[in-house]
Structure 1
């Protein structure tokens, strides 16, 4: 099935790049749909894992996994920041019909991403006592979170490699195989989670072991697709690696700074919730798992438009770049509105499924009622950041993400909690996102117009 020459992008340089022709809305929908399918599978598995743990009827276990998730969110956010230069550089080379450059960059950037991910894990592990204490871990939740992270964090490097390979597949326009690679994580987790958590009695540690095994599967499947279907990897060239490091880190450093704004803000919010006890932390953990499942389309959209913009920039199709942003906005309005209605309708069943005690259930239900308002403006920042990172303006992405995570969140969440407790904190983070969301998307259109003015006409 992988012998179809139409998918061997690196071997067919005379064919027009996939995203430079055809409907931009179709490209946005296909890339977002396939990306969302893979993400939903992973996020649902994470949600089900927490659901299993909640069935152990120990709020400290749920809260402990929630705190561990805050730390893992930090490492995954760095990985996502490292994915951005891979997608930008490889898609741009393919759009400009330079397949040899794309192959070299895919290899070099994947190695660089793995190296950074390994260093991040080595730094974080000895700092866990300080980090977990800072975000409000009690004696019981601390032990749960620490044990979980000591099992799962060492394989962060495998997660980084799988994410790198999957990003190259998407940069080549092969959203389907990228989705299949991601689905392999979900498939392994669905099978092993109940066996390890309940069957072997490993509880939260069983969920952490499952994460490691699923990451091995992710690397294996994505590597097979990338080498057999596209031939977009080659033997490492250390001279090329050092040469490619410069453009890689030129995008990666501001992208990482941009992405760690979200886990930093999440850690602050978790600290605010910790003031109200384990039930509030458990509510935060449930929200953290429900949100990506519900709004997976937004996460996928941010990753989907990057390759589309990158290939059209390489081909100097600025009209298609602007249309891609407009299509992304249309998708955001329809998608977020639909999800908001759904969450309002299922707010009570969600809390019952998690055996949530009254205080936890109340907080989760308030989130469901506010979710669409919060996430529409957050989505605008996501879409704008994808544009900035792929079009040579990564510092703008850093500015808007940190602006929303600090000025747009910290004072609003803090004073909201002072006035209305955990529910007030949720209202605060929604109110603080409005200005930054609107300003970010306006700026994204401005950057494309600027690139068009600066462009030298193609000969």
Structure 2
């Protein structure tokens, strides 16, 4: 089993029967920065009762993710109300590029945050600061590079072609992507670096920075889209404005706030190849998840355009419908992601400190909480499908009926998804990226895409009551069943390994 952590082999038993590494217990070198290694906000991750810690970290993270998910939904509601199916279709076409930005953000941010948490668990605060500095540097470099690339007409045309933009939708999608790319740097800071605040032992502050940006997004979206009539241009501008506020708040925390466990310093932004390599390796699982989602969006768009032409709702209607379902799915999954984000520093710190009993307990807490949330979200969708779809401004009866059907089918196995997300993210948080990559690929790439590409070869013959467009929706629950089964096998194997380490 691949393990990228470097742990002190010796450990001592404390009065409360928890284990701490010698590196964590020994006094750091005499400097104010190193002395912060023993700051209670960080050291308590290995000593305080887990139930209270998880509640403290999870509630802000879940709230933040729900608010972020609400913005994604509200954004589409505003577009639907202002522009109808055309606005929703433009957002659907631009979705793969939006996910690409998130992919780069989590590649750098989650990888850096995982490494920082592990180093804090080992008492290496200076190293955690260098990780933070290199994370910000990579966000800046990648943000500028992608914007320059998007400004090249051939690349933009390729993006639109890959996303299956129709002639009537392409101009709106082009405008949306260009504006979003211009603000990519601040979005990556908001997506990736914000999680470092949790590793610094301040989950409530991480929530505040996220909430501020999201509230600004919603207000700006309302004004620019509904009041000023700017359509997709206003929606993209609102996103960049809100993320800029979040980025400023995050950078302010690590540069100006007093008594911060570790800081962002200019000297630590000097590139360090060994850190960057490790960050990227640890961030690859999250990156692959997002790339898998982007590929899935591309494949779906191609198939939706292909089969939508023969459907009563048409191509634009089909793209609008899948866009609505994707927004609802995002809203249901984000709280589950919030829980995994919340327990990530707890897993990383305790794994780095060799507190394997706490690692196992944290994993079990995460599985139970995520499963409960999955079931609650599933019940809401089953009970209120019609009002949810109608809120997006869809009034055509055929389009309304198809969107409701697609949402119900695609999210039918949602209760299983919570476990799968916790399982795959656990291996990333504990420095085992290879397994995390496998589990992440299972749901988004290795299973779902092949099913999507082949389901219309056999399902219409077995169930002639469903059209080819209908059949595409059944690929999602089938994929959820298979990927969750594989995740269960790996988690059981890991729990047995932890039990041996505990003994």
Same fold (TM over 0.5): yes
CA drift at 1:390: 1.8
In 1, the alpha carbon distance for the partners of 2:362 and 2:77 equals: 38
Change (3 A) 1:401 1:123: farther
| Structure 1 segments unaligned to the other structure (5+ residues) | 1-7
What is the aligned counterpart of 1:257 among 288, 294, 318?
288
CA drift at 1:220: 1.1
Could you say which residue in structure 2 is the equivalent of 1:352?
390
CA drift at 1:67: 1.2
Could you say which residue in structure 1 is the equivalent of 2:92?
66
Could you say which residue in structure 2 is the equivalent of 1:383?
422
- 1:330-362, CA deviations, whole angstroms, 9 ceiling, x for partnerless residues? 112211111111111211111222231233322
What is the aligned counterpart of 1:128 among 156, 162, 167?
156
In 1, the alpha carbon distance for the partners of 2:318 and 2:220 equals: 29
Could you say which residue in structure 1 is the equivalent of 2:55?
29
Change (3 A) 1:453 1:105: farther
CA drift at 1:144: 0.9
Change (3 A) 1:290 1:145: same
Q: TM-score with structure 1 length normalisation?
A: 0.90
Change (3 A) 1:370 1:329: farther
Bigger proportion of residues as helix: 1
Could you say which residue in structure 1 is the equivalent of 2:277?
246
Deviates most, 127-136 or 116-125: 116-125
- The Cα RMSD (Å) is 2.5
In 1, the alpha carbon distance for the partners of 2:498 and 2:35 equals: 27
- 1:129-172, CA deviations, whole angstroms, 9 ceiling, x for partnerless residues? 12222232110111111111111112111111233331110112
Deviates most, 92-101 or 120-129: 120-129
Q: Is the 8 A contact 1:344 1:368 kept in 2?
A: no
Change (3 A) 1:441 1:22: farther
Could you say which residue in structure 1 is the equivalent of 2:484?
437
Q: Is the 8 A contact 2:111 2:282 kept in 1?
A: yes
Q: TM-score with structure 2 length normalisation?
A: 0.82
Change (3 A) 1:164 1:53: closer
* Matching of residue 215 in structure 1 with residue 243 in structure 2: yes
In 1, the alpha carbon distance for the partners of 2:168 and 2:493 equals: 50
- 1:386-434, CA deviations, whole angstroms, 9 ceiling, x for partnerless residues? 1121222212222222232233112322344563333321211111221
Q: Is the 8 A contact 2:68 2:214 kept in 1?
A: yes
Q: Is the 8 A contact 1:73 1:263 kept in 2?
A: yes
In 2, the alpha carbon distance for the partners of 1:183 and 1:9 equals: 31
* Matching of residue 286 in structure 1 with residue 324 in structure 2: yes
* Matching of residue 401 in structure 1 with residue 440 in structure 2: yes
In 2, the alpha carbon distance for the partners of 1:162 and 1:389 equals: 20
Deviates most, 369-378 or 221-230: 369-378
Could you say which residue in structure 2 is the equivalent of 1:272?
303
Deviates most, 113-122 or 444-453: 444-453
In 1, the alpha carbon distance for the partners of 2:448 and 2:100 equals: 17
CA drift at 1:225: 2.3
Q: Is the 8 A contact 1:9 1:172 kept in 2?
A: no
Change (3 A) 1:124 1:26: farther
Change (3 A) 1:298 1:371: farther
Deviates most, 347-356 or 236-245: 236-245
In 2, the alpha carbon distance for the partners of 1:57 and 1:155 equals: 24
What does 1:116-155 correspond to in 2, within 5 Å?
116-126=142-152, 127-155=155-183
* Matching of residue 176 in structure 1 with residue 204 in structure 2: yes
- 1:90-145, CA deviations, whole angstroms, 9 ceiling, x for partnerless residues? 11122222222222222222222332343344445532212222232110111111
Count of equivalent residues: 449
In 2, the alpha carbon distance for the partners of 1:417 and 1:60 equals: 27
Q: Is the 8 A contact 2:360 2:498 kept in 1?
A: no
Change (3 A) 1:415 1:391: same
Deviates most, 391-400 or 364-373: 364-373
* Matching of residue 87 in structure 1 with residue 118 in structure 2: no
Could you say which residue in structure 1 is the equivalent of 2:10?
none
Could you say which residue in structure 1 is the equivalent of 2:36?
11
CA drift at 1:254: 5.1
Q: Is the 8 A contact 1:42 1:185 kept in 2?
A: no
CA drift at 1:310: 0.3
Q: Is the 8 A contact 1:68 1:149 kept in 2?
A: yes
| Structure 2 segments unaligned to the other structure (5+ residues) | 1-32, 309-314, 461-465
